[in-house]
Amino acid sequence: MTRSARAEEASSAERVIGDARRVALEVLVRVDAEGAYANVALPAALARTDLDQRDRAFATELVYGVTRRRRALDWILDAFLVTAPPAPARAALRMGAYQIIELGTPAYAAVSATVSAAPRRHRALVNAVLRRVADSGVPDWPDDTTRLSYPDWIVDVLVADLGRSTALAVLESMNGPARAHQRPDGYVQDVSSQLVVDAIEVQPGDLVADLCTAPGGKATALAARGATVVACDSHRGRVGLLDANRRTLGAASVLAAVADGRCPPLRPGRFDMVLVDAPCSGLGALRRRPDARWRIEPSAVPRLAELQQAMLDAAVGLLHSGGQLVYSVCTLTAAETLAVVAHASRNGSLEPLPPPGEPWQPHGDGALLLPDADHDGMALFRWRRT
């Protein structure tokens, strides 16, 4: 290939990648300055482009990676900034630093491509600061919280509840990309949710109440195993999602209803199984929603624990004697696991069932799945009504 052909090829590849950076930058500004959700704003922005698969993946890596690593990147950048830059400049700086420090992109390529994706009026600043970032090399982090890029309170809660070394390993693993798996029926569900379903001892013909059902991943899996599932969720729009999934999968034995799981309009003492897959702080599944760590407030944990307790109280009443209760959450806090189930266990009519085996590990009377490369974090508790 001639030199001019090579140059043309490089420049055309750069044009496409440059577009991916521009899309990423637009989304990052919306997420940071306007409070948009990354997993909503990114697909919407990508839908307006004709980027190919590779460039979509690159834009996704930039948006999700920069969003997760926001605190760590800001710590690197702030050493070279005298005043706080406006949001578009800050987003471009984070995106450039992410490529240099985290992706190992050669500095000249990361700097020049990021500068050309940045708004014209901020290019000089972005260029000057990114050159200094590139020269400064791998950072000497001031502490684990900055290195791992989480708010203080999340690190503090998980260190207090899991111990320091487990918490740090868990937090590190949630900085990686999320994986999704397709079930044989085509529904895309994370592996950990599938492990929760596997741990539910449902029999063909069982009548199941699923009190927090949307979007219906577990309800449709239980129906596929022969159960009839009365599927409730308090969020009308999300029940619509469940309904769409139910139709796509042909899950005729899932009966959907909009209802509050704290007072479900269902006949007491009638069900073989009740599933409370409760709303939670989601601290075990942070890799799935990159901006979640910056949104969740510490006050969400006690508020959700109260809601979870009320749902478990309601769930017990729906079971006939011998029926099973399953409680699951995608979080790891003691407040939403051990404390909530201690409250449920005080109801004298519940007998804990043995926890499932590996990869679950014992957690009180239940089990915990710690986040790793393949799994989200989950907690699971099962009882039989006496």
Judged by the rule CB under 6 A, the positions of this chain that interact with ligand SAM are 193, 211-218, 232-235, 238, 260-262, 277, 279
SS3 for 294?
helix
Write down the least CB distance from residue 275 to ligand SAM, Å. 7
Contacts of 59 (CB under 8 A, 6+ apart): 20, 21, 23, 24, 27, 42, 45, 46, 51
Closer of 95 and 211 to ligand SAM (Cβ): 211
The active-site residue out of 212, 232, 280, 330 is 330
Number of Cβ within 10 Å of residue 48's Cβ equals 9
Closer of 55 and 190 to ligand SAM (Cβ): 190
Tokens for 100? 């240099």
DSSP letters spanning 151-196: -HHHHHHHHHHH-HHHHHHHHHHTTS----EE-TTS-EE-HHHHHH
Write down the least CB distance from residue 203 to ligand SAM, Å. 20
Number of Cβ within 10 Å of residue 63's Cβ equals 29
Closer of 116 and 234 to ligand SAM (Cβ): 234
Write down the least CB distance from residue 66 to ligand SAM, Å. 27
On the 0-12 / 13-18 / 19+ scale of CB atoms within 10 A, 3 is exposed
Tokens for 110? 């990361």
Catalytic status, residue 212: no
- Rounded CA separation 100/79 (Å): 16
Element (H, E) at 55: helix 53-68
Q: Cα-Cα-Cα-Cα dihedral of 312, 316, 318, 324, to 10°?
A: 100
Write down the least CB distance from residue 255 to ligand SAM, Å. 15
- Rounded CA separation 96/54 (Å): 19
SS3 for 256?
strand
Closer of 62 and 212 to ligand SAM (Cβ): 212
How many residues does this entry show for the chain? 386
Write down the least CB distance from residue 105 to ligand SAM, Å. 37
Closer of 26 and 277 to ligand SAM (Cβ): 277
Closer of 65 and 216 to ligand SAM (Cβ): 216
Write down the least CB distance from residue 52 to ligand SAM, Å. 31
> With contact defined as beta carbons under 8 Å apart, do 158 and 370 qualify?
no
Catalytic residues: 330
